[in-house]
């Protein structure tokens, strides 16, 4: 299979991704991923119903993954025989939007999983003086991040970037004392020390 990152939002496809999707014999993906690239699909497309059974799909199937497949995406299902095509990630978009250098950035995800390991990683990386990129969970978002930073006596700028690439995208920053509030479930957090 070929796992293709379709980007974090509209118009965030790489040229390589466009070529792979345009030449695909069959495409599988979530409703959102298919909608993001539908203008380039020239074959049958199917919604993925069971992500754990991707290995049962045809070898030449193109599997769409939102953002970049290798960060909280479907790339985790790739075998050594599969191909992975990168996509524009929320990491790249957020760092560009907030002018954050990526060389001192820790990447953490709590998206779709138990947030406890993410919180542990967050504390560890902040203790090392790093800036943080976080894909949040319902129970580990801007308010919880601010509380952890307060407990650690760390001053930082807390930024959220939501609905990236859509006409209604929103980027806002706050402080540990007054963290920003998200309005959408599709967002990321950047903590800048």
Kindly calculate the radius of gyration of the chain based on its CA atoms and give it in whole angstroms: 18
Q: How far is CA 66 from CA 37, 136, 143, in A?
A: 10, 16, 26
Handedness of CA 193, 152, 182, 31 (dihedral sign): positive
Are 20 and 2 within 8 A, CB to CB?
A: yes
- Per-residue pLDDT tens for 10-37? 999 999 999 999 999 999 999 999 999 9
Residue 126 in tokens: 């902040």
pLDDT of 90 > 90? The answer is: yes
Phi-psi region of 116 (alpha: psi -120 to 50; beta: other; left: phi over 0): alpha
pLDDT band per the 50, 70, 90 thresholds, residue 62: very high
Pairing type for strands 131-135 and 187-192 reads antiparallel
- Provide the percentage of residues in the chain whose pLDDT is more than 70: 100
Domains and CATH numbers, the chain: 2-88 (3.40.1010.10), 91-192 (3.30.950.10)
Are 31 and 12 within 8 A, CB to CB?
A: no
Helices marked H in the chain? 15-22, 31-37, 90-98, 115-127, 142-151
Helix axes 142-151 and 115-127, enclosed angle (nearest 10):
40
């Amino acid at each position: 299979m070929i796992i293709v990152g379709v980007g974090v939002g509209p118009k965030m496809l790489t040229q390589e991704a466009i070529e792979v999707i345009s030449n695909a014999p069959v495409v599988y993906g979530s409703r959102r991923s298919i909608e993001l690239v539908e203008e380039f699909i020239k074959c049958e497309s199917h919604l993925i119903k069971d992500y754990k059974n991707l290995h049962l799909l045809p070898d030449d199937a193109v599997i769409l993954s939102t953002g970049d497949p290798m960060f909280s995406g479907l790339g985790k299902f790739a075998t050594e025989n599969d191909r992975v095509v990168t996509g524009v990630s929320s990491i790249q978009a957020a760092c560009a939007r907030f002018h954050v250098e990526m060389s001192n950035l820790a990447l953490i995800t709590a998206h779709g999983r138990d947030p406890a390991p993410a919180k542990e990683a967050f504390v560890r990386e902040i203790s090392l003086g790093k800036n943080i990129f976080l894909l949040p969970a319902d129970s580990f978002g801007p308010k919880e991040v601010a509380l952890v930073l307060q407990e650690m006596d760390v001053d930082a700028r807390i930024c959220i970037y939501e609905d990236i690439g859509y006409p209604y995208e929103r980027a806002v920053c706050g402080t540990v004392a007054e963290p920003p509030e998200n309005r959408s479930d599709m967002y990321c957090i950047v903590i800048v020390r």
